[in-house]
Amino acid sequence: MQVKAPRGTYDILPQDSVKWQYIEKIMRDSAESFGFREIRTPLFEHSELFQRGVGQGTDIVSKEMYSFNDRSRRSLTLRPEGTAPCARALIEHGIYSGVMPVKWYYLGPMFRYDRPQTGRYRQFHQFGVEAFGSNSPYLDAEIIILLVEILRRLGLDDYELHLNSLGCSVCRDDYRQKLLQHISPFKEQLCQDCQQRYMQNPLRVLDCKMETCHQAIRGYPIFYDHLCPYCQEHYSRVQAALQANGVSYIHDNNLVRGLDYYSNTAFEIHLPGIGAQSAVGGGGRYDGLVKELGGPDIPGIGFALGMERLLLALDMLGKREFSKPSLDVFVVVMNDAYEMQGLQLVSELRRRGIRADKDYGGRSGKAQMKYAGKTAARFVVMVGEEEVEKHFWTLRDMQSKEQRQLGQEELIDSIRSVIETK
C-alpha cells in the first residue's frame, strides 16, 4: 500500500499555488493598509493554552485537537486557531506595555481533527487579524470593514455578513439564567442534541434546525433585549459605524460563536453557493481572553478567514483567470556536443534577469522544440554547430515564427525589449 497524504490534508501543486500567492498578497496588502503587521507564532503550543484560551466546553478543545506528548512528556497541541497564540505572545513579550492598540495579522496552517468534507480539512489555512488594547466600537467596525474589503478585492462581493452581540460576562450570565428558566419546563420536548446543549451552552439551542425544538422554546427571550446599557451602546455604535461605511449586515440573534472567549460583537461571513461549509470567515471581540491567560485586563478583537473556502469560492464563483508563469526563453541544443555552450548561455540569460530553461533529457532538437512549445516560452534560442562555429545565436520568436541570427548582447537586448513591455 503506497503512502498517501494523511486524511484531511492535501498537496498544493504549482498550478494551485499561484492562486494561493494571489490571495495571500491581497490579504497582506489589505491588512497592512489598515496598519496591521505580521506576527508568526509556533505551529504548536502547550495544550494548556488552548484549554484555557479557547475553552474546555468548546468543540475544538473537547474533540478536535491534535495533541501529543513530546519526549519530555509535555502535552503539546498543533494550533487549532490563531487568537490564543497571539494573546500568549502579547503577554510573553510584554507588548501591552508599549503603544496600543497592537495590530497583528497572521497567515498559516491550523489543525483540527474533524471529519473532512468539501471546504473542511484537518490541516487548513487561515488568515487572521487581532487588535489588542482598545474597546472602541469603531475598532470593531474597522475590523469588519477590513474583512469586507478583502472580499471585495477578491471579487467575492456576494457575501452575507451576520452580526450579533454576545454581551459582556455580566449580561450574558443574566440572559443565560433567563433562557434556562424559559426552556426548563419544555426540556423534555427537546431533541437529544439540545438536551446536551441545554446543559453545556443553552444559547446553542436557539439555532437548532429541528422544528420540534423551535416549537418547544417559542417565545424565548431575545438576547438583544437583555443587553446591559453598556453593551447596548457598544453594539449600536458598531452598527452605526458599519452603516456609515456602507457595509450591509444581517442582525442575527442566533449567531453564537463556539469559542468561549467571545464577548460583545460577534460576526460570521458566509458565501452562499460554495456548499455546506459556507462560512468563510468569522470573529469577534474577546475582552476577557488576555486576562484569562494571565495577562493584564486588556480587550481584543479579531477575525479569521478560511483560505481554502475562499479559494473554493474563487473557483466556483470567481471570474479571475490565473495564467501560469511562463518562461521567457527556452534554449534548444541541437547536438549533444554543444551542451556546455547551451548551459553557459542559459546561465548568462538567467543572470541577466531572463527566465530561461533548457532540456536535460538528451532529446532530439525537434523534441526540444516541442517541449519549448509546451512551456509556452516566448523565445527559443538554438545552439548548434553553425552557431558555435560562427559565433552567433539563432533566436526564434515562437509567436511570430521569425528567426534572427544575433550576437550575445544583441540577443539579450532583443529578448529584453520584448519581455519588458509585456
Binding site for RNA (CB under 7 A): 1, 4, 7-8, 58-59, 81, 112, 114-121, 124, 126, 193, 197, 204, 207-209, 256-259, 268, 275-282, 304-306, 308-309, 334, 361, 363-367, 369-374, 382-387, 394, 396, 398-399, 401, 403
Question: Residue 62 is inside which H or E element, if any?
Answer: helix 59-63
221-224, long-range: CB < 8 A, 24+ apart: 221/175, 221/178, 221/179, 221/182, 222/253, 223/164, 223/165, 223/166, 223/167, 223/175, 223/253, 224/164, 224/165, 224/251, 224/253
Measured from the CB atom, the residue of 189 and 232 that comes closer to RNA is: 189
DSSP for 331-368 reads EEESSGGGHHHHHHHHHHHHHTT--EEE--S---HHHH
Measured from the CB atom, the residue of 382 and 412 that comes closer to RNA is: 382
Q: How far apart are the first and last CA of the chain?
A: 48
CB of 237 to RNA, least distance (A): 23
46 bridge partner residues: 76
Measured from the CB atom, the residue of 31 and 96 that comes closer to RNA is: 31
Burial 344-356 (b: 16+ CB within 10 A, else e): ebbeebeeeebbb
CB of 142 to RNA, least distance (A): 19
The position carrying cell 460583537 is 265
Instruction: Quote the cell numbers at residue 364.
Output: 532530439
DSSP for 188-205 reads GGS-HHHHHHHHH-GGGG
CB of 147 to RNA, least distance (A): 10
**Among 304, 276, 300, which Cα is nearest to 288's?**
300
CB of 208 to RNA, least distance (A): 7
Q: Using an 8 Å Cβ cutoff, are 161 and 192 in contact? A: no
Q: Using an 8 Å Cβ cutoff, are 360 and 354 in contact? A: no
CB of 398 to RNA, least distance (A): 4
305 bridge partner residues: 127, 281
Measured from the CB atom, the residue of 215 and 243 that comes closer to RNA is: 215
Measured from the CB atom, the residue of 200 and 236 that comes closer to RNA is: 200
Measured from the CB atom, the residue of 180 and 279 that comes closer to RNA is: 279
**Among 57, 59, 60, which Cα is nearest to 199's?**
57
CB of 210 to RNA, least distance (A): 8
153 Cβ neighbours under 8 A, 6+ residues apart: 26, 30
CB of 159 to RNA, least distance (A): 11
Measured from the CB atom, the residue of 96 and 104 that comes closer to RNA is: 104
Measured from the CB atom, the residue of 14 and 229 that comes closer to RNA is: 14
**Cβ of 248: how many Cβ atoms within 10 Å?**
10
CB of 180 to RNA, least distance (A): 17
* Region at 78 (left for phi over 0; alpha for psi -120 to 50; beta for the rest): beta
CB of 108 to RNA, least distance (A): 12
Measured from the CB atom, the residue of 113 and 230 that comes closer to RNA is: 113
